[in-house]
Each structure stands twice: as structure tokens, then as C-alpha cells.
Structure 1
Amino acid sequence: MAAAQPATSLLLVSGLSEFHCPGPPPSPDLTALLCGGNSLLALLTEAQAAALRDLLPVQHIHAAGLVCTPGLVDLHVHLAGGGGEAGPASRTPEAALSQLIQSGLTTVVGVTGTDSVMRSQENLVAKMQALREDLTALHWCGSYRLPPPTATGSVQRDLCLLPSCVGVGEVAVADHRGSAPTSQDLLRLGLEARVGGLLGGKAGLVHVHMGPGPEGLEPLRQALAQSFGQLPISTFHPTHMGRNAWLVQQGDSWLRDGGSLDVTAGSQEQALAALGSWRAEGAPMGRVTVSSDAYGSLPVFDKGGRLVGYDVAAPDSLLRLLRALVGQAGWPLAEALPLMTSNPAAVLKLPHKGRLAVGADADVLLLEPSSLEVRYVIAQGRVVKTPEWTLGGMFERGPGIRPKQPPTEAG
């Protein structure tokens, strides 16, 4: 089976109904775009697109009234699988390339959670490297526990020496599956991540798993206070912040004090409530991100700590939440979209991601205007999904899946 087109070819998309992207909207007469290599080269009129087709050999997609948005940026994906709270048989599967693509994810950041024994940093980095052939794949070093597991021996070394490492996480706070980090533990980790980020030119964040415990964000607040202003609040990026009303309330203050935070899209009712609350109260939504927690386990424990339910998070939860925000909660698409495009790109210091602009990475979704169903996905300037097929991993099979072909040696 044929692979997606080489990244060196020119790709022209015409016939778009509109662009939806953060920032000022493009002129309405611009209804086409040109990609070359990994970059978006130009936004064009239909006349310019037609002239270009006559002049140059281009791969052409006639979008026929589709909506164009940036590819989604998901900063919390268990790429190598997760879970295990119900024993070895409950370890969740690793990410499937076709599922990530069908979910509109063009940038993913891998994470390790509860299990850092059978889900090692080496597993995570290897999986991330495999995906990087077709998507933008990055990773967090560490896991729920402290000291954090790393690939090179320290958080600072991982940030300096591994191009894909953006920070450390997800470190568990207020959760019985973590290691009960003290405020001093969090302060030391924050300082190490910050220095590693400075030296490596990275975001250098501590991605914090917020559990259901009553302490909430207080350990992070205490760590910041004990730094006497040396550690900025932006160092910590807490996730699962829609988990309960107490965290939502604390999140409002956290945002107003200059912090950023993340909401898990799969818990859709909670996510809609949290996002709606902060929006209604006028909190700065530019520092709010939404992630999927895809392929992570979803254990349910009763008040006695007994496991009473178990499931796995789906990679399409960002798309489903986007549709719910627009169709159910009445958000304009232009207001909902940044939560999963430009906001996470800004938090992670990825200036070429999450936007549609000349010079940005050519990560593009073409959606049905009414249903927001994904019709085409372009990642790094290559078509990886059409209405007829989706690029899949080498061993993926199924209707419409076009598996990658193994490299062969000449002769």
C-alpha cells in the first residue's frame, strides 16, 4: 500500500469555507493554503491557488466548503500505555497511530503515570520516537512518584540532552497512588525543572496530577511561598483540575495569579462545568489547556480504597469536547479551539504549533462545518488521513487503515 506523500512535495488545499485559528481571522477571500516541507507556506485566494496549480506540480485537495483549523495539541497522552491498578492484565494498550490521527491529534506529549516499573522511560521514549515519523511527539520524564524516573539520570539532564523532553510529570499530588510529596519536594523538583528548561531552551514545567485529596493545590502554593519568589507560578502545570468543585474554585485563583492549568476532556461533564465556570467568572482562559489522558487507566475507588470500576481513556475526547463546547454549551468555535491548540502550544513553548500562519508547522485539520467531523488530517505537511483512509502503524489492520510499510534494504 502506498504511504502518505513525501514531506518535500507541495500540498495545495483549496475551496475552504473559512479558517478558524487563534488570533485575528484571515481575510475572507483567503480560502486556500499551500504547504511545503513541514511548513505552511502561504494562505491564498482561489485565483492564486488556480494559478499555482497551472505553474507547479502540486498535490491538490479540493476541500469543498470544509473548515480549516490547526491540528490539535494534546499534552497528556499515555503513549506507551498505562494503568495496572487491577493487576498486570489491566495494563492499558499503547497508542495506535491511526487512532491518534483520526482524533485530530498532530502533536502529542507522552506521559507515564501510576506504573513506572513496567512502563519505563525507555518504553516511552521508544514509542515517542516511532510516532515522530508521522506526528510531532514529545514527552514528559518522570511519573506519579518521586524521585522521578528519567532516561539519563536526572530531570535536568533529560531536559538538556533529550530534544523531546519538555518537563517532568505527571507527579501525583493529593493521590494515594503517589509518593506524598512535601512542599519542599515540589520546590526542589520545580527548581530542577526550571533550570533544566533554561539550559535546554525548553518549557521546563512540572506537570502535576491533581488527585481527589482535600489538600488540592495547597502543596504547590506552599512550594512557591518557600521559594520566596524565586520560582514562578508558571513552573507548575496542574492537570485534572475539573475533578471536583474545590479544585475548580482553587483553579480560578490559580489562573488569576498567573498560573496555567489543564482539564481532562474525557470527563466531559466535569470539563464543561469547570471551563464554563472560569469563563463566566472572567478568568484568563488563555492559560487553560485541555488534554485527553488517552490510553491512561480510569480506576474508580470507593471510600475504603477498594477498586470498584475500571476503564481506559479514549484519544478522541478532545474532539468530542470541542463539539460539546460548540454544540451544547454554545461557545464560538474560535473561543473553544485555543484550549486544545494555541494554549497548550504556548504553555509548552512550541511557537510553530497550534496556529495557522505562514511559517507555522503544517499541522492542519479539515472539518465538516456543522458536525466538526474530521475529513482530512495533515501532519508535518503530509496527508495522513482522507475520507477514504487513515495512516496506521506497521501492524495495524482494519477498514480504511493504510499501514506503514517497513523499510527495505536495496539489493
Structure 2
Amino acid sequence: MITVIKNGEVYAPKYLGKKDVVIAGGVIEGIYDAIDVPENFGNIKVIEAKGKMVLPGFIDSHVHILGGGGEGSFKTRTPEIQLSEILSGGITTVVGCLGTDGVCRDMNSLFAKSRALEEEGITTYIYTGAYDIPVKTITENCKTDVILIDKVIGVGEIALSDHRSTQPTFEQFANVVALARVGGMLSGKAGVVNVHIGDGKRRLEYLHRLVEETEIPIKQVIPTHINRSIKVFEAGVVFAKLGGIVDLTTSSDPDFLEEDEVKASTGLKMLLERGIPVEQISFSSDGQGSMPIFNEKREFTGLGVGSVKSLYREVKDAVLKDGVNFEDAIKVITSNVADNLKLFNKGKIQEGRDGDIVIIDNESLDIQYVLAKGREMVSQGQVIVKGIFEK
């Protein structure tokens, strides 16, 4: 199948103007000023994108694809994610991870779930390990996981500054990062360590020590949840000013933020105003993690599930409510993530890269079409490809 996306305003994420994008064999064949497609000419599908913007497929680098939660006992474990949930958020690539529970959910199951989602039509990767140090892996250690297992691109999410972490020493943490880095070097992968930052008073202390006391580059670690509180956010600003990458979590309820929590869209604006280059900023959803639900009186009423659809919601809010430049906003879920994780075929509309495309309405910015590796998965706002067990 050859697909031609015609007359769209292409953001690659750099704005290219009105272009036609041709996808063949699941890969972007070229980007043209205008091409003529003869009627009834072979196996060619044309998507008319006039009045729409054409974007790279979104990358969510932190999703509990097996489900998350469980901190309130077994009944609070969240379910596995379904394909349609991912696609409806414009996401064509996910990185799966474990969280607090690395016992009842393990790396074998995470690997199998990532394979299942890939067979259903999207691209998947995983981090090895969970909150714990020592890291629970598939092979003998996290370095060999990164080297030998195609899906494994790094380690995480390792919990620091959190009462749920295993309270590792700095030396134990630095050793994990060193193993991940060498594993990445030997396999051509990023080998990054995704670091869950909690509310503890140490905040990003270990990450600063890593920079000061070792030879490991600062971008080998990516702290996430830095918008969980203003104190953690400010620590993230300091880290970013040293050259580090910071990741903001999107899946909180925007109507009932915790008292000092920073909304992801607002956090993006604040970071840019502080002079942090946009290339050092990313969003991830923490999708399928458990999320508290509050009523209008801010009273806790139960648990919900963090949504991967929040990833693009916060990008829209950054543009429509916080006045962030559109190109900058899109980068935090496309090219920045691809660059940080060395996903060389993802994150940009460029000849030779995978045909992962999201088409949105020019005015509302609502998602109209999603293509994953050239296959149309969402059409006119409706998911048309679902997982095998979805109705």
C-alpha cells in the first residue's frame, strides 16, 4: 500500500509548509510540494489533509503497559493497556516500564506485552527493572539486557527520593547507570536510566553527585515526575541548567492538581521562560498508573487510571492556554524523545523514517488521523484498528 497525504501543513516538527507526504512500505518515501495522483492508479490511498496539520507520531516514553499501582493492596492494581487507548491519544510508539511492583509483574510479562502491542500495529520498547536496586532483569544484569534483548533500550523506572524506593546507596545507583551506559554503547542504544523522582528531601541529589563525582554524561539519566511539586520542579530547573534532560508527567487530573503540583503544560512554559532549551524537555504520561480521584470539595473518592491521552492533552493546553510555540510544544512528544532514546526511525517526518503520522485539525488541534508504520489506525477521529480482545 502506498499512502499519499495531500495538502497538509507539515510540522516535521519543524514547519515545512504545505506539502504532500508519501508513505510506501511503512516508511516515508518523500515529502513533496505537490504531486498528482491519477484516479484508479494501483494500490494508492489518498488522505486529504487540507485545513489540517501533519505531525510525527507521538512517542510516550513512560507507560505501565502491564498496568501499575497496587500500593493500596492487590485490589488497587490497574489493568493492562489496550491498543485503542494508545492510538486515540495519537501515540504510535510506547516505552513500557514496571513501577513499584516488580514481583507480581515481572520483566518476562512486560516483554510479552510489548511484543503483543507491536503485533497489533504500533512500535514498542521497554526499560528493564522496576523501582528496585538491585535491578530485576531478564538476563544476568541490566547491561546484558540492553545488549542482548532488542526491546530493552534502558533501565527504569528506578525510584529515588521516595519512601517506596529500596533506598540504594549512591554507589549502587551509579553502578546501575554505568552498566546501562556501557550496554547502550555496545548495542547502539541509548542505555538511559529513567529515574522516578519522589517527594523526598534529597530530590535530585544522586543525579548531581553522578555529574560531579563520575565520568558519566549528564544525559545518561532522565529524571521524570519533576512537576510533582514546585520544590521538585525547581530542583529540575537546576539540573536542566547543567545540561540535563527533564521529563514532565502529564497524567494528573488538571481540575484537581495537588496543592503544589505543576501542570505539565505550565511547566513547559516555565522551563522555557527560565531559558532551558526545549530540546532538554520531554513529556511522558505515566499511563496506566493508579491516580487518585477527588470530588469538587477536593475529597478523595477513589482511584482511577492514568491516561496516555493526557500526553497530547497537555501539548494542546501548552499551545492553546499557555501560549507555547507550536513547534516547541510538539517536540516534547516527538523529536526530543526520539533523540533522547536514540530511536533513529522515529520522531520526525523525514525520508526514510517510519511512516508514523498524526493529522490534526488546524483550529481545534483535535486528532483526525493516526498512521502507524504507514497503516491507518485512526480515521476521521475514530479508532478503526483495535486490539485482538477489544470489542
Q: Select 2:208's aligned residue among 209, 221, 228.
A: 221
* Structure 1 residues without counterparts, runs of 5 or longer: 1-8, 301-306, 398-411
Paired position in structure 1 for 2:101:
115
Matches within 5 A, 1:60-75: 60-75=46-61
Letter in 2 for 1:179: T
Deviations 1:132-151 (A, max 9, x none): 12011000000011111111
Paired position in structure 2 for 1:258:
243
Q: What TM-score do you get using the length of structure 2 for normalisation?
A: 0.92
Letter in 2 for 1:383: E
Are residue 202 (structure 1) and residue 202 (structure 2) matched? Answer: no
Q: Select 2:169's aligned residue among 182, 192, 195.
A: 182
Paired position in structure 2 for 1:406:
none
Paired position in structure 2 for 1:14:
6
Are residue 97 (structure 1) and residue 90 (structure 2) matched? Answer: no
Deviations 1:216-262 (A, max 9, x none): 101222233332xx211111100001111222222122112121111
Paired position in structure 2 for 1:359:
352
- Give the secondary-structure state (helix, strand or coil) at the position aligned to 1:353: coil
- C-alpha root-mean-square deviation of aligned residues, in Å? 1.7
Q: What is the CA distance between 1:324 and its match in structure 2? A: 0.6
Deviations 1:43-72 (A, max 9, x none): 1234x1335x57543122222422110110
- Give the secondary-structure state (helix, strand or coil) at the position aligned to 1:147: coil
Paired position in structure 2 for 1:409:
none
Letter in 2 for 1:110: G
Q: Is the 8 A contact 1:10 1:36 kept in 2?
A: yes
Cα distance in 2 for residues equivalent to 1:233 and 1:319: 27
Paired position in structure 2 for 1:4:
none
Q: Is the 8 A contact 1:14 1:49 kept in 2?
A: no
* Structure 2 residues without counterparts, runs of 5 or longer: 255-261, 294-299
Comparing 247-256 and 106-115, the one that deviates more: 247-256
Are residue 34 (structure 1) and residue 26 (structure 2) matched? Answer: no
Letter in 2 for 1:120: D
Cα distance in 2 for residues equivalent to 1:220 and 1:247: 13
Paired position in structure 2 for 1:3:
none
Q: Is the 8 A contact 1:12 1:59 kept in 2?
A: yes
Q: Select 1:232's aligned residue among 207, 210, 217.
A: 217
Cα distance in 2 for residues equivalent to 1:110 and 1:255: 25
Q: Is the 8 A contact 1:84 1:115 kept in 2?
A: yes
Paired position in structure 1 for 2:268:
275
> How has the CA–CA distance of structure 1 residues 287 and 327 changed in structure 2, closer, same or farther, with 3 Å as cutoff?
same
Q: What is the CA distance between 1:332 and its match in structure 2? A: 2.2
Paired position in structure 2 for 1:394:
388
Letter in 1 for 2:126: H
Q: Is the 8 A contact 1:20 1:333 kept in 2?
A: no
Letter in 2 for 1:319: Y
Comparing 386-395 and 329-338, the one that deviates more: 386-395
- Give the secondary-structure state (helix, strand or coil) at the position aligned to 1:310: strand
- Give the secondary-structure state (helix, strand or coil) at the position aligned to 1:140: strand
Cα distance in 1 for residues equivalent to 2:210 and 2:230: 23
Cα distance in 1 for residues equivalent to 2:29 and 2:165: 46
Number of residue pairs matched?
Answer: 375
Cα distance in 2 for residues equivalent to 1:342 and 1:389: 24
Paired position in structure 1 for 2:134:
147
Are residue 82 (structure 1) and residue 73 (structure 2) matched? Answer: no
> How has the CA–CA distance of structure 1 residues 375 and 259 changed in structure 2, closer, same or farther, with 3 Å as cutoff?
same
Deviations 1:167-225 (A, max 9, x none): 00000001111101221111111110011111111101111000011111012222333
Cα distance in 1 for residues equivalent to 2:19 and 2:211: 47
Are residue 371 (structure 1) and residue 356 (structure 2) matched? Answer: no
Paired position in structure 1 for 2:297:
none
Letter in 1 for 2:384: T
Comparing 244-253 and 124-133, the one that deviates more: 244-253
Letter in 1 for 2:170: S
Q: What is the CA distance between 1:299 and its match in structure 2? A: 5.4
Q: Is the 8 A contact 2:250 2:314 kept in 1?
A: yes
Q: What is the CA distance between 1:391 and its match in structure 2? A: 1.0
Paired position in structure 2 for 1:287:
280
Letter in 2 for 1:79: I
Letter in 1 for 2:111: V
Point out 4+ residue stretches in structure 1 off by more than 6 angstroms: none
Q: Select 2:310's aligned residue among 297, 314, 317.
A: 317
Cα distance in 2 for residues equivalent to 1:299 and 1:191: 35
Higher strand share: 2
Are residue 171 (structure 1) and residue 158 (structure 2) matched? Answer: yes
Cα distance in 2 for residues equivalent to 1:64 and 1:225: 52
Q: Is the 8 A contact 1:74 1:291 kept in 2?
A: yes
- Give the secondary-structure state (helix, strand or coil) at the position aligned to 1:74: strand
> How has the CA–CA distance of structure 1 residues 95 and 49 changed in structure 2, closer, same or farther, with 3 Å as cutoff?
farther
Paired position in structure 1 for 2:259:
none
Q: What TM-score do you get using the length of structure 1 for normalisation?
A: 0.87
